[in-house]
Structure 1
Amino acid sequence: MSLRRSNFFAKRILPALLAAALAPGLSHAFEPFVVRDIRVEGIQRVDAGAVFSHLPVRVGDQFSDDKAGEAIQRLYSSGFFSDVSLEIDGDVLVVNVVERPTIASVTFNGMRDFDSAALSKSLAQVGFGPGRVFDRSMLERAEFELKQQYLAKGKYGVEITPTITPLPRNRVGVSFEIFEGDLAKIKEIRFVGNEAFSQGTLENQLELTTSGMMTWYTGTDKYSREKLEGDVERIRSYYLDRGYLEFSAEPPQVTISPDRKDIHITFTLHEGKPYSIRKVGLAGELLGLEDKLQPLLGVKEGETFSAEKTNDTAKAITDYLGSLGYAFANVNPNPVLDSDTQEADLTFYVDPGNRVYVRRIQIGGNVRTRDEVIRREMRQNEAAWYDSNSIRASRDRVDRLGYFNEVNVTTAPVPGSTDQIDVNVDVKEKPTGMINLGVGYGSTDKVMLSAGISQDNIFGSGHTLSLQVNTSKTNRAAILSHTDPYWTLDGISKTTSLYYRRTKPYENSYTDYSTYHLTAIGGGLNFGVPISEYDRIFTGFNFERNTLELNEDNPSGVSKAYKDYVDEYGKTTNSVVFNVGWSKDTRDSALAPTKGSYTRLSADISTMDLKYYMFSAQQQYYMPMGRSFTLAFNAMADWGKTYGSKNFPIIKNLYAGGIGSVRGYDGASLGPRDPNSGDYLGGSRRLVGNVQLYLPFPGASRDRTLRWFLFADAGQVSTEDKQYCYDGGTQYHVEDPCGWRYSAGIGLSWQSPLGPLQLSFGRALNAKDGDDKQAFQFQIGTAF
């Protein structure tokens, strides 16, 4: 006797209906009997035990038509079989099955935008992958998932064609042929319902943009579902920061053109009205700290409600409680709206939780770096009250070491304790040994080549050892240095260095040969003493031997200033230069700062053959102006003088002109000129001031490393007693060479893969007769 149902019914009739339909039809097919044995036939991969586990009957049980219907339903629902039948051989139940094939492999052809491993993982999450049972419905789900991945990237023209290849042992290979098509770009962004703010204002808040001049580089015109969701939140935050507490936005409508190349996005907004603050208060468990918490309220009565200020206030209170040991403090702002007066009463509910202390600081992930290198940067101590400020400072200090790709500092409650936590510092080390080769080009130094080898974390000790070799048109240098950042337990650093430098004159418009060569060989020992998280005092000394060689092949063209120097000091001099200084750096970034300041003061005093002193100062300040603009100020001042009877040594002169000082003038051209050779001599006194307004590059407003700027520069180079500050005579006439020079212009800065790139087009505003001007200037790579 045979009981069979086709695959068609198994896939399209609900299992419950199948069982109900089978049961009546089988009631007269056979008489119930006691099963003496169960035999399974047709299995290849599926274990017989898996079949037995789905049967509602066991050996020794009575088998009826109801059990037969239930058995077929269960075996089909397992998904292992494409066909199932039951036969009765005496009192033996025979189960015949036809297994579904399994997927042996999944491959992708024509795919460029995704990694195959990432897509395979995505398909595995929907139940499709090698080792899984092949099913047409699962194949359709896999196709849908692949398309969703491409649609999220804006590839609306994608076409996916699966190919099924039968393989031995009831297996199949699945290959997806993918035609990715062109990327759909954002053609239009529209806002509906906006009355308080213009279309342009709201567009400036979005990360996604329409196609523009630089979107080929930034990619902001490429549609992304994740970015769109982020933009909705940015619009919401923009309104909430301006008091629109009843603001809401409908899900954006995204449409695509018939050719699947252009995307149109529509935001539908419901603005409401702005609310002002009527009353601000604190509630909850305040621990008697009202007088300490009240000044932290950044939201004031009478002003327009701001979600940003509200969140900042909540964070300030949380951080303050965290600094007192309340690691799990929670502050919830609750605005109560009065729609009649458009006012809100804002209350901050404070729940400090338990005060806790740190039981243990645990370091993990460091394979090469010693624990002590990380622990000495920690400002949070074990067995001390938890301090959120110290935790944050510790994390930043470990990150600034530069030894790790990732630094994560987390806290975990100690099991069984309500007042203890552990601090876990997990790091991911990066290669700290580096061999670098570099090529740069500048309008002053021309081609610049560099090579070096360095080890920032030698033997995991935190010490740095490096050798750098640089060469350009005017300079050659080789520097060997070693730094111990914790020479003492208090964090005093020690740097030892040896160096070799060879310099020749900056190129001028009068000569095409070098009138001298200066060779400097020396070494130094310098120390840095931290006095706060941002301040550092440095001091040390350098010994230097200088040898000046004049070009005697053309006596009439030999530089008079350098000939006078040789007559006064001789060709070779030895000197020990002592230095002391202080620096403070609060900038938010060293590459593309938008706020903060940098200050540096230093003094050098030279002894032995060269007796002089030099005072230097620099001040930078970055002022954010709105979301995308930054106003930057820079001022430098240097003042040198001898304390003996001789003139200031010309080999220690300072230069200005070109990128880094006063643009629009030839590099190093400001100041005195030599009357014989026309060489740029520089001077012992230098003043430079710069004002620069950074603006986002069109189409790249989110990329802080690509910016254009407007600038105004001013500078002056002179010498003690105005030596050589005359016009230089008829041949090398320069009017007022030691006077002020001004310039203004436009430029572009970019942190390119080849190094920092800066372009400028400057106009000399008060150029004098004989000045060497250079309107277009650029620098790529790091100058020496």
Structure 2
Amino acid sequence: MTRSPTRRLLALALASALSAPAWAQFAPPAATPSSPLPAPAASPEAFTVSDIRIDGLQRISAGTVFTYLPIERGDTVDQPRVAAAIRALYKTGFFEDVQIGRQGGILVVTVKERPAINKLTITGNKDIKTEDLSKGLKDIGLADGETFDRMDLDQVTKELTRQYNNRGKYNVEVTPTVTQLDRNRVDVTITIKEGKAAKIRHINLIGNEKYEEKYIRDDWESREHNWMSWYKRDDQYSREKLDGDFEKLDQWYLDRGYVDFARDSVQVAISPDKRDMFITAGVTEGEQYKISDVKVSGDTVLPREEVEKMIFVKKDQIFSRRVLQATTEAITAVLGNIGYAFAQVNPVPDVDREKRTVGIDFQVVPGPRVNVRRIVFKGNNRTADEVLRRQMRQFEGSWYSQVAIDRSKIRLQQLGYFETVDIETPQVPGSSDQVDVVVNVKETTSGSFLFGVGYSQLSGITTSIQLTENNFLGSGNRVSVAAQRSSYQKRYDFSFMNPYFSDNGMALGYNLWWREFDYSDFNVAQYSSNSGAAQAIVSLPITEYDSVSALLGIDTNEILAFQGTTPQVIVDYIDAVGNRTFHSWRAQLGFSRDTRNNAIFPSSGTAQRITVESTLPGSTVEYYKIEYDFSKFWPLGQALVLNTRLDLGYGDAYGKDFTRTLPDGRVVTASGLPFFENFYAGGVSSQGRLRGYVDNTLGPRATSVFGFPQPIGGSLKTIGSLEMFFPKLFDSNAARISAFLDFGNVYKDVDSFSASEFRASTGVALLWRSPMGPISISYAFPLRDKVGDETERLQFTFSGGL
């Protein structure tokens, strides 16, 4: 087990406190400027104390000394009692020197105070956090305002050096500096030069005859220097890490039946410059053992035949400690889910070395059935307890269930309100059959606030304000308000969602928005629109992981085309419909399944959603859209998580086509998905994400009368990505780096689909959940780009949702 720096310093404190102080002699005190009297004569004879005088005090009051001094006026003292008084004053830790003498009948106590620490400063430390160091130093009395003891400082210096040596840093320099100040005070500075960790140049196993070393060391954390060491740092020597690898070595052989396996010797050598490490281990493999018999004993609680079905160990199999452990965990988990929180399953081996066999007896000790007394939440300073409690699947007053507790943790993580969630189950004092469930959370930003002022030649001064809060006032409700205004654009949005409108988890929300675009961005076709909508949303969970949703709303969209600049296909569509204002009754049905272990930065699980949206009969244009979004996270180890994502969309008209003959004799037709509902691709937005290309610029383009090609989107969207996350690159739960490959495109319709038109890009991205909101920054290299594509390598979004 790895011991933390704090625990080591606590042990050091105990050792320091038990060190015996030096005894002063029963001798006359030396004369000092504050006590100019002549030194009293020493006397080994007992005498009665008529008075007590304290000399040498500066900061400490005489009353404090009298509190610890075991002698009072009128006492008769002799040499042993004076020695005991000196020990008592030394034990206070306040004094560097204590002498006791007499002047007639007056007992004279002369002390030299230890200085007080004015300020303690630690610099240069990276491997050991400052807060951990400061806490450990405070535990042994090295802190601001405490009494300074040089012996403690020397011991801390040695301990820190040893700590860094265990981390492979043998060039570390720990330099304490003590600066004397007035009024018997000191400043203490501990300067640490950590240096670089020694690198493992060679690992050698001796005695492994049945298996090659490369297979044995496949999952070791300690590795020889290799091309990935810059990232994994697996070539840096650490004693704790090496000890863990040797435990894996033992496990490796025991999993393959070598019961008598032993490590004979371990040698760790370091180069003269203390930069290279050489590790050699001698082993004895022994013989391979098989299972001779398997049985279950003890109080199984459940029918014995049910417990026997959980046993993975079979007669005549090769012995494997891993299989034994899996069996004990399986039985323990089942008992834990029905209330036996402290159940134990002990596999007792019966080794026959002559026959090379092992018999296993699984002894079941269920312990008392445990009830959950109380569920307590800590760390939710802003979020109401009710918001957390409704996510719990473990309930107060019910039997303990480890499955319910594990699921509760995942549901809390999926809220997105917390950086970390930890659940403890301490036993109720004085009770063997009750536990409390203590949920410790660390809150993080659950929303974003954005205010901006900008200027461009196109739009002039632009002001925008947006407030999004997923945990409004700690209630768990989601509220979003946004307003943006410029000389060409006005936009107002409001949305509200109550995820627990009813006790059974039904969610109810509303969307209201109004948008006026006098001139669109250059990234999409140029036309103006005035649009607004009012929508109601209902969502209902149907299983622990699945939910269905429905939306019903009404919207209006007025399109204004500009002769000469708007693409001709858009002008013809509006002319064919014969109405520039589109009114719609809109309905949407959705199904989603989410098994991710975390809503912010998941490392496993799947999230998928399918939605079918349609305008209802009687709308100006009758059409439908189908979208499917799939995302799966594959944990490839502690340092790697692979995300595979697919984003598909398709839309078409289901009502009649519009055909008109214009005054100039041209016949125009409006069919298929309306142009203002087209899918777009390119950029870093969550819909149609294909980094490395300018937002919304991929796919079909159309020209205006003036011949300027403009993106108009398409009715078919096919986007995919492979993204490798490196969650351990930063020591933070709020940021991570990824490497990605994005691919896909949008097409006019299904008949236009061609894989040869796929665009692709690769690059790296930084995802950071900052205090002001989520930030995504990517640097991409476009692949398969063609003439006319608009590329952009560096892209970022703020509060765009990670």
TM-score clears 0.5: yes
TM-score (normalizing by structure 1): 0.75
Write the distance in 1 (CA, Å) between the matches of 2:278 and 2:547. 52
- Indicate if the aligned counterparts of 1:747 and 1:758 stay in contact, CA closer than 8 A: no
Write the distance in 1 (CA, Å) between the matches of 2:761 and 2:216. 25
Deviations along 1:204-229, one digit per CA (max 9) or x if unpaired, are 642788586784x7777776666666
Q: Does 1:187 align with 2:207?
A: no
How much does 1:339 deviate?
5.7
Write the distance in 1 (CA, Å) between the matches of 2:96 and 2:239. 39
The one-letter code matched in structure 2 to 1:751 is: L
Q: Does 1:652 align with 2:677?
A: yes
Which stretch of structure 1 is more off in the superposition, 647-656 or 293-302? Answer: 293-302
How much does 1:424 deviate?
3.9
Write the distance in 1 (CA, Å) between the matches of 2:278 and 2:530. 65
Q: Residue in 2 aligned with 1:747? A: 762
Write the distance in 1 (CA, Å) between the matches of 2:555 and 2:332. 54
Q: Does 1:492 align with 2:506?
A: yes
Q: Residue in 2 aligned with 1:611? A: 622
Q: Residue in 2 aligned with 1:102? A: 115
Residues 361-510 of structure 1 aligned to structure 2 (within 5 Å): 361-363=375-377, 366-414=380-428, 417-430=431-444, 432=446, 434-436=448-450, 452-468=466-482, 479-500=493-514, 502=517
Write the distance in 1 (CA, Å) between the matches of 2:331 and 2:451. 49
How much does 1:489 deviate?
1.3
The one-letter code matched in structure 1 to 2:749 is: T
Write the distance in 1 (CA, Å) between the matches of 2:216 and 2:739. 21
Q: Residue in 1 aligned with 2:771? A: none
Q: Does 1:165 align with 2:165?
A: no
Write the distance in 2 (CA, Å) between the matches of 1:430 and 1:328. 34
Q: Does 1:582 align with 2:594?
A: no
How much does 1:106 deviate?
3.6
Indicate how the Cα distance of structure 1 residues 83 and 161 shifts in structure 2: closer, same or farther if over 3 A, else same.
Answer: closer
Which stretch of structure 1 is more off in the superposition, 558-567 or 330-339? Answer: 330-339
Point out where structure 1 has 5 or more consecutive residues left out of the alignment. Answer: 1-12, 23-28, 440-447, 723-736
How much does 1:367 deviate?
4.7
Deviations along 1:671-712, one digit per CA (max 9) or x if unpaired, are 5856975544443344x374748497999999994444567x
Q: Does 1:349 align with 2:366?
A: no
Deviations along 1:494-535, one digit per CA (max 9) or x if unpaired, are 121123455988979xxxx95434454223211111112211
Write the distance in 2 (CA, Å) between the matches of 1:235 and 1:757. 42
- Indicate if the aligned counterparts of 1:696 and 1:707 stay in contact, CA closer than 8 A: yes
Q: Residue in 1 aligned with 2:577? A: 568
Residues 73-222 of structure 1 aligned to structure 2 (within 5 Å): 81-87=95-101, 92=105, 94-108=107-121, 111=124, 113=126, 119-130=133-144, 132-145=146-159, 147=161, 154=169, 156-165=171-180, 167-168=182-183, 171-176=184-189, 178=191, 180-181=192-193, 183-193=195-205, 195=208, 196=211, 198=213, 202=217, 205-206=220-221, 210=225, 215=230
Deviations along 1:6-48, one digit per CA (max 9) or x if unpaired, are xxxxxxx9889999999xxxxxx97855525353442523646
Write the distance in 1 (CA, Å) between the matches of 2:414 and 2:599. 12
- Indicate if the aligned counterparts of 1:749 and 1:756 stay in contact, CA closer than 8 A: no
Q: Residue in 1 aligned with 2:715? A: 684
Indicate how the Cα distance of structure 1 residues 696 and 334 shifts in structure 2: closer, same or farther if over 3 A, else same.
Answer: farther
How much does 1:481 deviate?
1.1
Deviations along 1:112-152, one digit per CA (max 9) or x if unpaired, are 75776654433333344455554443342243345456667
How much does 1:580 deviate?
0.5
- Indicate if the aligned counterparts of 1:697 and 1:708 stay in contact, CA closer than 8 A: no
Write the distance in 2 (CA, Å) between the matches of 1:699 and 1:458. 32
- Indicate if the aligned counterparts of 1:102 and 1:131 stay in contact, CA closer than 8 A: no
The one-letter code matched in structure 1 to 2:537 is: N
TM-score (normalizing by structure 2): 0.74
Which of 625, 632, 635 is the matching residue for 2:644?
Answer: 632
Write the distance in 2 (CA, Å) between the matches of 1:591 and 1:573. 38
How much does 1:604 deviate?
1.0
Write the distance in 1 (CA, Å) between the matches of 2:691 and 2:134. 55
The one-letter code matched in structure 2 to 1:352 is: P
Q: Does 1:316 align with 2:343?
A: no
The one-letter code matched in structure 2 to 1:600 is: R
Indicate how the Cα distance of structure 1 residues 692 and 305 shifts in structure 2: closer, same or farther if over 3 A, else same.
Answer: farther
Q: Residue in 2 aligned with 1:444? A: none
**Secondary structure of 2:217's partner?**
helix
The one-letter code matched in structure 2 to 1:193 is: L
Q: Residue in 1 aligned with 2:9? A: none
**Secondary structure of 2:200's partner?**
strand
Q: Residue in 2 aligned with 1:327? A: 341
Q: Does 1:289 align with 2:309?
A: no
The one-letter code matched in structure 2 to 1:187 is: K
The one-letter code matched in structure 1 to 2:677 is: K
Deviations along 1:356-378, one digit per CA (max 9) or x if unpaired, are 33344445555544343333223
Indicate how the Cα distance of structure 1 residues 604 and 321 shifts in structure 2: closer, same or farther if over 3 A, else same.
Answer: same
Percentage of matched positions with identical amino acids: 24
Write the distance in 2 (CA, Å) between the matches of 1:625 and 1:430. 27
- Indicate if the aligned counterparts of 1:207 and 1:702 stay in contact, CA closer than 8 A: no
Write the distance in 1 (CA, Å) between the matches of 2:476 and 2:641. 38
Indicate how the Cα distance of structure 1 residues 760 and 540 shifts in structure 2: closer, same or farther if over 3 A, else same.
Answer: same
The one-letter code matched in structure 2 to 1:780 is: F
- Indicate if the aligned counterparts of 2:614 and 2:624 stay in contact, CA closer than 8 A: yes
Which stretch of structure 1 is more off in the superposition, 403-412 or 45-54? Answer: 45-54
Which stretch of structure 1 is more off in the superposition, 337-346 or 529-538? Answer: 337-346
Q: Residue in 2 aligned with 1:541? A: 552
Q: Does 1:42 align with 2:55?
A: yes
Write the distance in 1 (CA, Å) between the matches of 2:386 and 2:80. 73
The one-letter code matched in structure 2 to 1:529 is: L
How much does 1:238 deviate?
6.1
RMSD: 5.0
Which stretch of structure 1 is more off in the superposition, 224-233 or 484-493? Answer: 224-233
